[in-house]
Amino acid sequence: MTFSKHLVSKLRNLPLISQTLTRSLSTAAAATATAPPPPPPLDDPDSISMKGVRISGRPLYLDMQSTSPVDPRVLDAMLPFFVSQYGNPHSRTHLFGWESESAVETSRSQVARLINASPKEIIFTSGATESNNISVKGLMHFLRSSKRHVITTQTEHKCVLDSCRHLQQEGFEVTYLPVEKDGLIDLGKLRDAIRPDTGLVSVMMVNNEIGVIQPVEEIGKICKESNIVFHTDAAQALGKVPIDVQSMNIGLMSLSGHKIYGPKGVGALYIRRRPRVRVEAQMNGGGQERGIRSGTVPTPLVVGFGAACDVAMKEMEYDDQRIRGLQERLLKGIQDRVDAVEINGSAERRYPGNLNLSFRFVEGESLLMGLKEVAVSSGSACTSASLEPSYVLRALGVDEEMAHTSIRFGIGRFTTEEEIDRAVELTVKQVLKLREMSPLYEMYQQGIDIKSIEWAQH
Backbone angles phi, psi at 271, to 5 degrees: -135, 120
Q: Are 49 and 39 in contact (CB under 8 A)?
A: no
Q: How far is the CB of 58 from other proteins (least distance, A)?
A: 5
Restricted to residues 39-58, the positions that interact with other proteins (CB under 8 A) are 46-48, 55-58
Backbone angles phi, psi at 107, to 5 degrees: -65, -40
Q: What is the sign of the dihedral through the CA atoms of 60, 62, 66 and 72? A: positive
For residue 159, indicate whether it is catalytic.
no
Restricted to residues 65-94, the positions that interact with other proteins (CB under 8 A) are 69, 72-73, 75-76, 79
Q: How far is the CB of 259 from other proteins (least distance, A)?
A: 16
Q: Which lies closer to other proteins via its Cβ, residue 136 or residue 260?
A: 260
Q: How far is the CB of 73 from other proteins (least distance, A)?
A: 6
Residue of 43, 418, 449, 454 that binds other proteins (CB under 8 A): 418
Q: What is the sign of the dihedral through the CA atoms of 16, 22, 26 and 27? A: positive
Rounded to 10 deg, the angle between the 299-337 and 417-436 helix axes is 50
Q: Which lies closer to other proteins via its Cβ, residue 79 or residue 343?
A: 79
Q: Which lies closer to other proteins via its Cβ, residue 261 or residue 305?
A: 261
Restricted to residues 365-384, the positions that interact with other proteins (CB under 8 A) are 373
Q: Are 406 and 390 in contact (CB under 8 A)?
A: yes
Q: Which lies closer to other proteins via its Cβ, residue 60 or residue 381?
A: 60
Q: Are 100 and 302 in contact (CB under 8 A)?
A: no
Which residues lie below 8 Å from residue 143, measured CB to CB, with a gap of 6+? 199
Q: What is the sign of the dihedral through the CA atoms of 313, 316, 317 and 318? A: positive
Beta-sheet strand order (sheet of 406-410): 341-343, 354-359, 406-410
Number of chain residues interacting with other proteins (CB under 8 A): 25
Closest CA to 279 of 133, 111, 125: 133
Greatest CA separation for the chain: 81
Q: What is the sign of the dihedral through the CA atoms of 59, 60, 66 and 70? A: positive
Stretch that binds other proteins, among 152-160, 179-187, 237-245, 414-422 (CB under 8 A): 414-422
Pairing of strands 60-61, 374-375: parallel
Q: Which lies closer to other proteins via its Cβ, residue 307 or residue 392?
A: 307
Stretch that binds other proteins, among 59-67, 151-159, 266-274, 429-437 (CB under 8 A): 59-67
Closest CA to 332 of 207, 417, 444: 417
Q: How far is the CB of 56 from other proteins (least distance, A)?
A: 6
Q: Which lies closer to other proteins via its Cβ, residue 416 or residue 445?
A: 416
Q: Which of 159, 164, 223, 382 is catalytic?
A: 382
Q: Which lies closer to other proteins via its Cβ, residue 79 or residue 193?
A: 79
Q: How far is the CB of 82 from other proteins (least distance, A)?
A: 12
Q: Which lies closer to other proteins via its Cβ, residue 149 or residue 413?
A: 413
Q: How far is the CB of 304 from other proteins (least distance, A)?
A: 13
Restricted to residues 301-330, the positions that interact with other proteins (CB under 8 A) are 318
Residue of 182, 419, 425, 442 that binds other proteins (CB under 8 A): 419
Helix (H, G, I), strand (E, B) or coil at 209: coil
Stretch that binds other proteins, among 28-36, 81-89, 344-352, 415-423 (CB under 8 A): 415-423
- Is residue 60 involved in binding other proteins (CB under 8 A)? yes
Helix (H, G, I), strand (E, B) or coil at 332: helix
Specify the amino acid at residue 72.
P
How far are the Cα atoms of 53, 286, 322, 335, 447 from residue 328, in angstroms, in the given order?
31, 50, 10, 10, 29
Which residues contribute to the site for other proteins (CB under 8 A)?
46-48, 55-61, 69, 72-73, 75-76, 79, 318, 373, 413-416, 418-419, 422
Active site residues: 382
